[in-house]
Amino acid sequence: MSLSTLQAQAAPLPAMKAKQVSVSGLSSGAYMAVQFGVAYSAIVDGAGVIAGGPYYCARGNVSTATTVCSCTTLPAMCHVSAGGTDVPGLAAITSQNASNGSIDPVAGMNRQRIWLFSGSADTLVPTPVMDDLAGYYQNYVPAANIRYKKDLAAQHAMPTDFFGNGCSALASPYISNCGYDAAGELLKWIYGTLAPKSSNNPAGRFVSFDQAEFLSDPQSHGMAATGVLYVPPGCEANNAQACKLHVAFHGCKQDQASVSDAFIRNAGYNGWADANNILVLYPQAAPVLPMANPNACWDWFSYDDPNYAKQSGRQMKAVKRMIDRLTGSSDPGPGPGPATCFNASNYAHVQEGRAHTSGFYVYANGSEQKMGLNNIFTRTTLKRTAPDYYEIGTCP
């Protein structure tokens, strides 16, 4: 089925009851997979990371993203080096986010299975960044649960054993035939023994769905109007109760508008999905023009949302709601719950992770209510009613 046909048939994402959720991604999709797996560690069983880096590597700064966490600006401006991402500092931020409820407790990562890949010829996300990611995970994940491959001379691309450019190419669609099945290797590591992939020609169906159901006005926030779900034949019956769910995040310039269905069909996941009853969710990013996000990257450096790496991040919440739909879980949303109040200066609220700034003003996390100027003199009482969701108010 062609891209245009898929988009024309966009419909609600079907409700299913899949289990064993995992994530993976390339490039910006790798960063998205990492931050999603960390923020929602309670529901994510494992992650496959191809050319990414540690959680919150960019620290909300595009310059850091393009010079320290990657080399995606002028080569002379690249500052990638061993330890350059400051893993101890990123681990401290992770702990702070977990302690204030912005992300799940870090203990959830202890059971995850982590698969890492760095092409030794990758010039955009060089190996030292992935080495830092391996070091980051060692703070939380047992060594026996981490596999790291970095001895293949691959450029910045999704490695496959059947489709794409030459392994040394740096070119669209950023999929390379390296004689190496990265999708299969990461799925086997995360899930354990799997049946061999049936074919590189998918036997299931591609379901185009409306992403606006999960994020209002998605194209204003770096997500496309439609996403795609791959449903293998074995997941058609009984609401996919016997199926696993894998979320595959494409990289920059790999959205459907840029490469049509090249990533969705040829990244290597679908044959394994057919043979092992795995739903594959392909959420879709989109450009935000002219300068914020021209390459349809996922938000791992705050081009749209200062809370991008937290559960309250717009794109994070959207993908979580998709997963909830496909696993039969409910999204409680920011409804009423046991409230905790914090009375402090606006500056203190920001420093302690309950609020964020935009320009000179402060906004409550979650509700986005405007609190006033960012200073030590303006005091506000914030009421927390859900993880990382605060409203201006008082407690009984």
How many domains does the chain contain in total? 2
- CA-CA distance, 130 to 279, in Å (whole number)? 28
Which helix (DSSP H) or strand (DSSP E) does residue 188 occupy? Answer: helix 182-191
| pLDDT for the residue 33 | 99
Is residue 79 within 8 A of residue 63, CB to CB? The reply is: no
Residue 333 maps to a domain: no
| pLDDT for the residue 290 | 83
- Looking only at the bridges linking them, the beta strands covering 175-177 and 278-282 are unpaired
- CA-CA distance, 326 to 60, in Å (whole number)? 30
Residue 173: cis peptide before it, omega within 30 degrees of 0: yes
Please list the alpha-helical segments (H only) found in 25-109: 28-39, 62-67, 87-99
Q: Write down the pTM of the prediction.
A: 0.84
14 lies in the same domain as 99 = yes
Catalytic (active site) residue 156: yes
Q: List C-alpha distances in Å: 351 to 97, 206, 222, 354.
A: 11, 45, 27, 8
Question: Between helices 127-137 and 87-99, what is the axis angle to 10°?
Answer: 40
280 lies in the same domain as 383 = no
320 lies in the same domain as 378 = no
| pLDDT for the residue 251 | 99
The average confidence (pLDDT) of the chain is: 93
Beta pairing partners, 282: 228
Is residue 115 within 8 A of residue 83, CB to CB? The reply is: no
Burial class (CB in 10 A: 0-12, 13-18, 19+), 369: middle
- Using the 3D structure, point to which of 284, 299, 327 is the last residue of a domain: 327
191 lies in the same domain as 142 = yes
Answer yes or no: is pLDDT of 137 > 60.
Answer: yes
| pLDDT for the residue 4 | 45
Answer yes or no: is pLDDT of 158 > 50.
Answer: yes
Report helix, strand or coil for 273.
Answer: helix
Q: Number of C-alpha atoms within 13 angstroms, CB side, residue 271?
A: 18
Residue 145 maps to a domain: yes
279 lies in the same domain as 371 = no
Answer yes or no: is pLDDT of 6 > 60.
Answer: no
44 lies in the same domain as 95 = yes
Task: Report the range out of 176-190, 212-226, 350-364 with the highest average pLDDT.
Answer: 176-190
Residue 168 maps to a domain: yes
Residue 332 maps to a domain: no
Catalytic (active site) residue 122: yes
Catalytic-role residue among 24, 70, 156, 312: 156
- Using the 3D structure, point to which of 327, 362, 378 is the last residue of a domain: 327
55 lies in the same domain as 77 = yes
Which residue segment(s) compose the domain that 377 sits in? 340-392
Report helix, strand or coil for 283.
Answer: coil
Residue 128: cis peptide before it, omega within 30 degrees of 0: no
Residue 334 maps to a domain: no
311 lies in the same domain as 366 = no
Catalytic-role residue among 104, 122, 255, 305: 122
Binning pLDDT at 50, 70 and 90, where does residue 339 land?
low
Catalytic-role residue among 27, 28, 41, 208: 27
53 lies in the same domain as 78 = yes
366 lies in the same domain as 222 = no
Residue 142 maps to a domain: yes
Which helix (DSSP H) or strand (DSSP E) does residue 150 occupy? Answer: none
Residue 204 maps to a domain: yes
Binning pLDDT at 50, 70 and 90, where does residue 38 land?
very high
223 lies in the same domain as 365 = no
Task: Mean pLDDT check: name the lowest of 53-57, 131-135, 152-156, 384-388.
Answer: 384-388
- Using the 3D structure, point to which of 303, 327, 351 is the last residue of a domain: 327
Catalytic (active site) residue 27: yes
- CA-CA distance, 90 to 27, in Å (whole number)? 19
Q: Number of C-alpha atoms within 13 angstroms, CB side, residue 207?
A: 20
Residue 192 maps to a domain: yes
Task: Mean pLDDT check: name the lowest of 145-154, 203-212, 253-262, 345-354.
Answer: 345-354
299 lies in the same domain as 355 = no
Strand boundaries in the chain, DSSP class E = 19-26, 44-50, 113-117, 146-149, 158-160, 175-177, 205-210, 226-231, 244-249, 278-282, 340-345, 355-358, 361-364, 370-373, 379-386, 389-392
More confident residue, 178 or 340: 178
